[in-house]
Structure 1
Amino acid sequence: MRGSNALFAIPLLLFLSCTAVHAQDTGNLVGQIRLRNGSFPAERILITLQTRGATLNSMYTDNEGRFGFYNLLPNPYHVVVEDENYEPFHQVVIINPTVLQTTQIHVVLVPREKPKPESPPAAASGGNPHLVNLAEYGKKFPREAIKEFEAGVKADESGQSEKAIAHYQEALRLAPAFYPAHNNLGIRYLSKGDFAAAENEFREVIRLNQEDAQAYFNLGTVYHLTKRYADASQTLQEGLKREPNSAPGYYLLGSVLSRAGDFPAAERHLKTARDLDPKMSRVGIELANLYLRSERPQEAIREFENFVQLYPKDPLLPRVKETLKKLKRSTQ
């Protein structure tokens, strides 16, 4: 099952510690897009932020479906996705920085139904045999469990996290081996910061579905967030054995090794991630972080300069520019 990546933006950015703190009267909105089966969209998705009937800003997600809007005044905002491949998505989000500086949103997209071909194509070879649709789940699991799972997905789509958790738990009561429910339940726990519960769910996904590379990436992310870097490295490498061309996998592994102090290996893996996906903007930031940790400021400056040139619409651009300015001043 391809969709098991974590919801958190990994890794945290080192350079943010030296940037100016946001004014207390503005807030941030960050989120991540997934499909209803838990996987990422194959393409970047355009996210539009509207307020009072007008478009305030728009951006494309990164390769793991993440997006962010920053320095927002207190207001209700409308998060909108209108993509020809998916059903329209619209959700109202209240930004109130006096209560919560950064608001998170979980976007679940439903693919539009496509006309069936007159003769079905031959099955693709080399794919994950556990990537199945709900019709195929019906061959393995009780109908009642599938109905609970679908109800959980719908609750996720409407932002009702606790209701989604209850449905996934009921699906697992009816069918303990229903690994898609374990996966989605783990994602919900992870988004709440309940790392122990998330770890248990992702371990169970791997036990039931051992060839799922993304399940290893998920578990590795939990280890990363809880600073168990040796466990994270080993788990992420297991994922890469199963999906050796995963740019996000190499990115996560490089980030973990950078925090563990293995700078040569971290640099190698991060550069591999960039080779596999040159559009993954966060790789350059993580490389710059690595160079700062390893006292190579000139190389960090080059990475930040490349970021400014290559990603002029990235929401992190203002903070990168500010950091770059301070870094140049400190090295003169």
Structure 2
Amino acid sequence: MYKRALLALPAVLLACVPAHAQPGAKTGGIRGKIVVPAVGWGERIELLIERQGEVGQVFAVTYTDSLGSYYVDGLPLGSYVLVVKLDGYNEVRERVDLGNPEYGANVPTINIILDRKPPDSEENPSRRNDPNVVDASELRKSYPKKAVEEYEKAQEDARKGSTARALERLRTAVKLAPDFYPARHLLGVVFEQMKRPAEAENEYRLARELNPRFAPPRVSLGRLYLEQAEAREKSETSEKLLQQAIEVLEEAVKLQGSATAHYLLGAAYYKTRRDADAEANLKRSLDLNDGAGPARLVLANVYIRQEQWSAALEHLNAYLKANPNSPDRRQIEEIRDRIMTIQ
């Protein structure tokens, strides 16, 4: 087995790193937030970047964190179009000019608010009766007005990065309505952003218990357990965390088989050497979202471990084609080249 060819697993939660434009720079970046007007949304969102005038030709791909924040760097100065395609929402195409002072010079901030398709629309069958998407108007029928108001304000605070303020509002919301499961889930997300994983886990678990059909806290728990397992790799604790991740992610894919849930479950199976299960879930993730770069890298790892070199090369090449400016491009090219010498 050519173990040295194995890739490091991609991060399961992207961090948004702030950056500043440098005078005379020839490249720049774009940062901002993608706002999804749905209660309980906590999954990463894919953001495609095209060069202006090259419709359908993806120049780069990035992903938001669980609060909708994103950052991409290393783009040559020029005009681009940001593209967001999310099931149940109208496609967004937003132009941005890097290097234009009107847009913030080399590192503009572009916030995108998604517009939901009508729930009964023929184009939006997947959102009908979806327990994972709850309109704010529905919340007001189930929870005290003040609790809902604090929750909505906390969502905005969290998107702006004001985690301390969001935390305060969410604590008020759950004090007024202890069974307010979307607020519990968001409280977990905020705790995780504040590097307080034990409290995040507790809130995710509460949200999971309060609504057995609500998938987002299961996805969040699975991601959290995976991160903790990687931090404690090759220990008994790591094995336990991986099994916990698999348990909640298996629940998540049964409730809402999103690309993210299948990707995380595939990564957990890979870490526990259940390659057949890993392959099936990673392929399903790509079926749901062909641009899911992290899923391609883990799937390539599966094939490398199995010494299926042609399959590994197929996914490495697909990843490189879709992500020409990826910061790990050189590492992936080196691994690809080594594989080509042993086929």
Q: Match of 2:36, as an amino acid?
A: L
Q: Which runs of 5+ in 1 are unaligned?
A: 1-12, 18-24, 49-56, 73-79, 96-104, 118-122
Cα distance in structure 2, aligned partners of 1:229 and 1:41: 20
The alignment status of 1:226 with 2:237, answered yes or no, reads no
* Change in CA separation of 1:303 and 1:157 when aligned onto 2, cut-off 3 Å: closer
Aligned with residue 238 of structure 1, among 236, 251, 254 = 251
Greater Cα shift, 25-34 or 128-137: 25-34
Aligned equivalent of 2:333, options 318, 322, 331: 322
Partner of 1:135: 137
Amino acid at match of 2:200: A
Deviation at 1:203, TM superposition (A): 0.8
The yes-or-no answer on 1:35 pairing with 2:47 is no
Cα drift, residue 201 of structure 1: 0.9
The CA distance in 1 between the partners of 2:299 and 2:116, in whole Å, is 40
1:281 aligns with 2:273: no
Which SS does the other structure have where 2:141 is aligned?
coil
Q: Secondary structure at the match of 2:72?
A: strand
1:170 aligns with 2:182: no
Name the aligned partner's letter for residue 171 of structure 1: A
Does the 8 A contact of 2:250 with 2:265 survive in 1?
yes
- 1:261 equivalent in structure 2: 273
Instruction: Give structure 2 stretches of 5+ with no counterpart.
Output: 1-6, 12-21, 51-57, 76-80, 85-89, 97-102, 230-240
Q: CA RMSD in A?
A: 4.7
* Percent identity of paired positions between Structure 1 and Structure 2: 26
Equivalent residues, number: 284
- Greater Cα shift, 296-305 or 220-229: 296-305
Partner SS state of residue 161, structure 2: coil
Alignment map for 1:300-315 (pairs within 5 Å): 300-309=312-321, 311-313=322-324, 315=326
Q: Is the 8 A contact 1:182 1:201 kept in 2?
A: yes
Relative to structure 1, the CA distance from residue 140 to residue 252 in structure 2 (aligned partners, 3 Å threshold; closer, same or farther) is: same
Contact 1:32 1:66 in 2 (8 A): yes
1:125/1:197 CA distance change after superposition, 3 Å: closer
User: TM-score, normalised to structure 1's length?
Assistant: 0.66
Q: CA deviation at 1:132?
A: 2.1
Alignment-mate amino acid for residue 69 of structure 1: V
| Deviation >6 Å, runs of 4+ | 25-32, 40-43, 63-66, 80-86
1:69 aligns with 2:82: no
C-alpha distance in 2 between matches for 1:124 and 1:287? 27
Q: Could you give the per-residue CA deviations for residues 29-71 of structure 1, whole angstroms, max 9, x where no partner exists?
A: 98874525342799854569xxxxxxxx984545987855245
Alpha-carbon distance in 1 for matches of 2:203, 2:293? 30
